Structure 1
Amino acid sequence: MPVIDAVLDWLATSGAMAWEILWPLVLGFALSGAVQAVVRREQVTGLLSGDSPRPLAWATGLGAASSSCSYASVALARSLFRKGASLTAAMAFEIASTNLVLELGLILWLLMGWRFTLAEFVGGPLMIVVVAVLFRMFVSRRIQDAAREQADRGLAGSMEGHAAMDMSVQSEGGLWCRLFSRAGLDSVASYFVMDWASVLRDIVIGVLIAGAFAAWVPTDWLHTFFLDGHGLAAQVWGPVVGPVVAMLSFVCSVGNVPLAAVLWNGGISFGGVVSFLFADLIIVPIIVIYRKYYGTAAAVRITGLFYLAMVAAGYVVELLFAVLHLTPTSRSATVVGAQVSWDYTTWLNIVFLGLATFLLVHFTRNGGWPMLSEMGGEPASQDSSSDHSGHGQHGH
């Protein structure tokens, strides 16, 4: 039957996509967990006061070492804002923690090529700079004070529990000493599992939507919609419509990379791909969370200014890469038509699934599952003196 064949085609394409991105996800989250395990939350917050270049640079660097889940990053940005970080620095941290993380770069490189990875890591800092300038122009002190008052009311989002948990190693010693200690391994395993739990839904939804696009949407229609072949018109249209497609697809975090690959194969401009990838922070559910966290006035400005910054970053990257002759011309992203076979991807997946299993078993043996139940709300306090792993307290 045609309907059954269409569904099977969709599921097969989605499954092949998931298989392609598995090992870089495991690697990225393992490295992210290691960084989070040795960087203490109170040290981070003390560096993010103000909106001068120094705290914004710290926010960018520390965000890049943090979680890539859009919902968790939004909740964590609010937590930092409540603890004294400026709103601009909190937003910079949020942008970096979803768009400048290692796992995203690895998947972009694998599915779309190194030029897209470079574009992401060039465009991300550009977007942060534009956001900082726009915030100074359009977000008054009165709005920021009202946003802080709203943030302090304790309205929780879907990932507030995850963002509030500080499981970094509290013992003394150098970075490597803390990382390879028993407490360090406990902390890495906890961050790894909880980051996976927070982002898994986004990845599954993203892969399913990308699979549906690849299997069901005619390529000719996409090329027409994105004005492919119309030169300057396509380059102008791509960054404008890219974030809109992201907002309506509800795809966020790493889950938007497979869909970006489909859109690229479908004719969207290079700058349009860049702006699309950044737009995971203005999908409709997250806009609703902004309103809960910071109030309507701040949410409207955050959403609008983010959109303008995404479009601007797309234009600048498009122009810069054209001048440097780095704009990709081949529209053959690996994700479309990918098949599971015995190649390097399969062997790497086996190796990194072994690593994931080791960390999951370690997490389970240390009684970590109750922490997952806390991710949907305010976490229960835990006395560090009774924590044999030395993670420290789950702070608010």
Structure 2
Amino acid sequence: MLSSLLLAVLDALATTGSMAWQILWSLVLGFTLSAVVQAVVRREAVVRLLGDDRPRTLATAAGLGAASSSCSYAAVALARSLFRKGASFTSAIVFEIASTNLVLELGIILALLLGWQFTLAEFVGGPIIIVLMAVVFRLFVRRRLIDDARAQAEKGLAGSMEGHAAMDMSIDSDAPLVRRLFSGAGATSVSHIFFMEWAAVLRDILIGLFIAGAVAAWVPDTFWRHLFLTDHQVLSALWGPIIGPFIAMASFVCSIGNVPLAGVLYNGGISFGGVIAFLFADLIILPILLIYRRYYGTRMMLVLLAAFYATMVIGGYAVELIFGGLGLVPEAGHAKVVAQGLSWNYTTWLNIVALVGVALLGVRFWRTGGMDMMHMMGGSPDEEHVHS
């Protein structure tokens, strides 16, 4: 009995390790680019662009979000920071959606583990959900509720990730962008933001990888076929976007950490649109719902839950219809989440280059007091909600 349990655990860990090795370089690349953008773009300039909910403003919010953080906890804190500094509530939420679901590293990992169709679907579904959210807020969210949410958002101190969002490394804002980036202050800022991002998201990535590895190793295919109604094509397509967000909420895994599990679910038979709804539902996992309650109050938390869920389901249906009509829906079972073992290929070379880059950033981070700053800001992205 004990030996069987040990073998099962080792099997799950082997699958987890293989998936982690496969996506390592893309994570490093994505977080490096995110850190570069955040180091040279002033937060005050962002806020000035997001003061209303006109279509152009929301498009700007989506673009700025896509160039920002990919951690769901950080995205929620950044949105609150923007809201407190004068951004409209709709623009702040659009920024939040884009900064956790329309970022480069997510697209790369989706392409690596699931296929380019899922990357394209993510970037098609994202704008659909953003438009739907804007319509929902315009029609159903009253000014009084937003004012109450703003009053609640002003209470308390900034959490650790919001402190990270507001971090300013004193880069000369008048210097050209390239000079700012390659200056001493620019290099320091990039290294600090890079490791702050990793500190915020690493736990969720590891949890997500282990959950995906355990599910792939332990859960039989028959369970998924029954859950996702795979024997009934029409019912499966209708059921997928409905059940997908619930699985995300129960998994507690945010942002990039849910991609491996999405692959397991697709191999198990969830619909194409169901995968997209599942991926976007990282913004309504239970810990983040509690953060919404802390930031904006119970009523706004319930509004956000209902609005996010409804738009994710509709967005999943839209993606299913669009990609199904174009013949772009890949066959289930092809996601690269169950292969075990390492081989000397392009992934190995890219990971070596990525690890060298991490080492160089680490030296800069250590020599410029990055560890002290991290301790001052706190170690957990939601630490504020435990202690305040």
TM-score interval (norm. to shorter): over 0.9
- The equivalences for 1:31-42 within 5 A come to 31-42=33-44
Q: Distance in 2 between matches of 1:137 and 1:347?
A: 52
1:168 CA displacement: 7.0
Picking from 86, 89, 92, the partner of 1:87 is: 89
CA contact (8 A) 2:14 2:340 kept: no
- Alignment partners' CA distance in 2, 1:120 and 1:111: 14
- Alpha-carbon RMSD: 1.4
Do 2:224 and 2:269's aligned partners in 1 also have CA atoms closer than 8 Å? yes
Name 1:327's counterpart in structure 2: 329
CA–CA distance in 1 between the matches of 2:151 and 2:166?
A: 18
Shift of the alpha carbon at 1:156?
4.6
Tell me the CA shift for residue 158 of structure 1.
5.8
**Contact 2:169/2:186 (CA < 8 Å) preserved in 1?**
no
1:155–1:293 contact (8 Å) kept in structure 2: no
Q: Please point out which of 350, 353, 356 is paired with 1:351.
A: 353
Q: Give the counterpart letter for 1:363 in structure 2.
A: F
Decide whether the 8 Å contact of 1:66 with 1:97 is kept in 2: yes
Does 1:219 pair with 2:221?
yes
Structure 1 CA distance for aligned equivalents of residues 163 and 339 of structure 2: 38
The answer to whether the 8 Å contact 1:48/1:55 transfers is yes
- Which residue type is aligned with residue 376 of structure 1? G
In the alignment, the residues of structure 1 paired with residue 153 and residue 363 of structure 2 have an alpha-carbon distance, to the nearest angstrom, of: 37
Counterparts of 1:369-384 in structure 2, within 5 Å, are 369-376=371-378
Q: 2:43 touches 2:166 (CA, 8 Å); kept in 1?
A: no
The one of 119, 122, 136 equivalent to 1:120 is 122
Q: What's the CA shift string for 1:335-391, capped at 9, x where partnerless?
A: 22242121111111111111111111111111111221233399xxxxxxxxxxxxx
Moved more, 169-178 or 296-305: 169-178
Distance 1:59 1:167, change over 3 A: farther
Give unmatched runs, 5+ long, in structure 2. 381-388
Tell me which amino acid in the other structure corresponds to 2:60.
W
Return closer, same or farther for 1:155/1:225 CA change in 2, 3 Å cut-off.
farther
Q: Distance in 1 between matches of 2:349 and 2:157?
A: 45
CA contact (8 A) 1:36 1:168 kept: no
- Larger deviation, residues 115-124 vs 180-189: 180-189
1:132 is aligned to 134
C-alpha distance in 1 between matches for 2:285 and 2:8 = 28
Aligned to 1:239: 241
**Percent of residue pairs identical:** 63
Tell me by how many angstroms 1:37 deviates.
Answer: 1.1
Counterpart code for 2:296: Y
User: Aligned-pair distance for 1:190?
Assistant: 1.2
> Is the contact between residue 268 and residue 332 of structure 2 (CA under 8 Å) also seen in structure 1?
no
Out of 209, 212, 216, the position equivalent to 1:210 is 212
CA separation in 2, counterparts of 1:260 and 1:237?
16
Give the AA of the match of 1:94: E
SS in 1 for 2:171: coil
Q: How does 1:40-55 map to 2 (within 5 A)?
A: 40-55=42-57
Does the aligned pair in 2 maintain the 1:147–1:298 contact within 8 Å? yes
**Which amino acid in structure 1 is aligned with residue 305 of structure 2?**
T
Q: Counterparts of 1:163-242 in structure 2 under 5 Å?
A: 163-167=165-169, 169-242=171-244
2:39–2:193: 8 Å Cα contact kept in structure 1? Answer: yes
Partner of 2:314: 312
Q: Is the 8 A contact 2:243 2:274 kept in 1?
A: yes
> Normalization by structure 2: what TM-score?
0.95
User: CA contact under 8 A between 2:180 and 2:186: conserved in structure 1?
Assistant: yes
SS at match of 1:159: helix
Q: Which residue identity is paired with 1:372? A: M
Structure 2: how far apart are the matches of 1:213 and 1:202? Answer: 16
Map of 1:341 onto structure 2: 343
CA contact (8 A) 1:143 1:298 kept: yes
Stretches of structure 1 lacking an aligned partner (at least 5 in a row): 379-396
Q: Equivalents in 1 of 2:170, 2:236: separation in Å?
A: 47
